[in-house]
Chain A
Amino acid sequence: MDLRRAASIALMGVWWGAAAVWAGEISGRVQLDGPRPKPVEIPVMAKSPQYPIEVCGRSKHSPRLVVSADRGVANALVWLHVSTDSHDSQTPPVTVTLNQQACEFVPHVLLVPRGSRVTIGNSDPILHNLRIFREAQMLMHEWQQPAPQPNEISWRFDEAGRFLIRCGVHSWMSAWVIVADHPYYALSDLNGNFTVSQVSPGSYTLQVWHEALGEQQRKVVVNNDTGPVIIRFAEHRT
């Protein structure tokens, strides 16, 4: 074999090898059309006199729609429609913490792999009544003792989906646990920015969900020239 032919073959091998390990990403931003809305203020009210609410303050800002000064939307869930049959698509489960502070769930949205365990704490010196829902079905409810008593409740999420966490006493309190069955999920940050990483080249359907704004779909192509994806929502309350 002459030298030039051998070099060509070698270069092709390097090129194919690089293509095989190259993984792209989909980055973008979720933003709201129109003026930035004022946060919804919720007056704090006791469900019953037996449940004190002084630690909760007088009012709360609703966490359901958080929009930055330049209209970036926080906590929008972004994911790709991919097959989940391959074992390689599974992300190892983790253990994360969700806390109740000043009668709010912190953080408001958690994104975890399937099989992960969420430990839910109560830092407030009052009782909370923890409930976990999948759509309209309640999966569990349990009273949580006030701090500083030991009061953590742990729940393992074995199925993919969106799970709503509520307090049965303080009706404004809510949080979401998003359980993903593959790694191509992302949550937008406080500025509305997101990145879905390690995506092989190809064409995909990108899905976006926000608890207050609804859902959208977008076709995207991942290659070495993929630009940012801008997802726009009109202000629409669900």
Chain B
Amino acid sequence: MVKDGFFSILSNQMGISYRRHWPWVGVAALLGLVAAGAARAPLDKPDTSKSPERLPVIVRVDFGPTGKPPREERLMVDEGSTPKDVVSLLFPIQSGATCCNTRELAAIDGVRSDPATNRWWTCRLNGQSNFSPFLKELKAEDRVEWTYVEQLQ
């Protein structure tokens, strides 16, 4: 009865017969509820507890002329990891400018790039070498190969 009284008053105010138009009144009420819920939604805080995505990559380190055995591993690494980051998960590394930047990789497991003997660490990503090993972000299933080479001189 209360309900009947409320809608009766409302429909009289709006100049419509609620008895004849009650389905549309119901739809309008429902739409109003939905709009109120949507307006409220931005006030909810976003979920910041999501962990960085983990990616599977393959890392191979070949010590070339040193005689140390090569090592290849399949690793799960954080999204945003670089080829330099992932090799540091297998061996201790040292940074240093062997070409152009102090952030380059100068040594892996104590084996250093050596200008005098023309021995250098090289890096390939999926068979390609045209990238920066300390900047390039890896994708899932990337193959990183660090190889110690001796160039003729």
User: Which A residues have a C-beta under 8 Å from some C-beta of B?
Assistant: 40, 42-43, 48, 62, 64, 131, 133, 135-138, 141, 164, 166, 168, 171-174, 211, 238
Contacts and interface: CB of A to CB of B under 8 A. Distances in A.
A136 B114 contact: yes
Contacts of B97: 137-138
Top 3 nearest A-B pairs (CB, nearest first) are A171-B151, A133-B115, A42-B152
A42 B153 contact: yes
Contacts of A137: 96-97
Interface stretch (B44-52, B73-81, B85-93, B98-106): B98-106
Contact of B151 (A131, A133, A172, A238): A172
A64 B152 CA distance: 11
Contacts of B116: 133, 135, 164, 211
B118 interface: yes
A40 B116 CA distance: 17
Nearest to A138: B97
Contacts of B115: 131, 133, 135-136, 138, 164, 166
Contacts of A62: 152-153
Interface string B112-129: 111111100000000000
24 contacts: A40-B152, A43-B152, A48-B130, A62-B152, A62-B153, A64-B153, A131-B115, A133-B115, A133-B116, A135-B116, A136-B96, A136-B112, A136-B114, A137-B96, A138-B99, A141-B99, A164-B115, A166-B118, A168-B99, A171-B118, A171-B151, A171-B152, A172-B152, A173-B153
A136 B152 contact: no
Given A42-B152, A138-B98, 5 more contacts: A62-B152, A133-B115, A137-B96, A166-B118, A168-B99
A136 B151 contact: no
Nearest to A44: B152
A138 B104 CA distance: 12
Contacts of B152: 40, 42-43, 62, 171-172
A11 B76 CA distance: 90
Nearest to B117: A238
Nearest to B94: A136
Contact of B98 (A136, A172, A174): A136
A175 B129 CA distance: 27
Contacts of B99: 131, 138, 141, 168
A137 B96 CA distance: 8
Nearest to B129: A48
A174 B106 contact: no
A238 B119 CA distance: 12
B83 to A, nearest CB: 19
B38 to A, nearest CB: 56
A42 B114 CA distance: 19
Contacts of A138: 97-99, 115
Contacts of A168: 99
B100 A136 contact: no
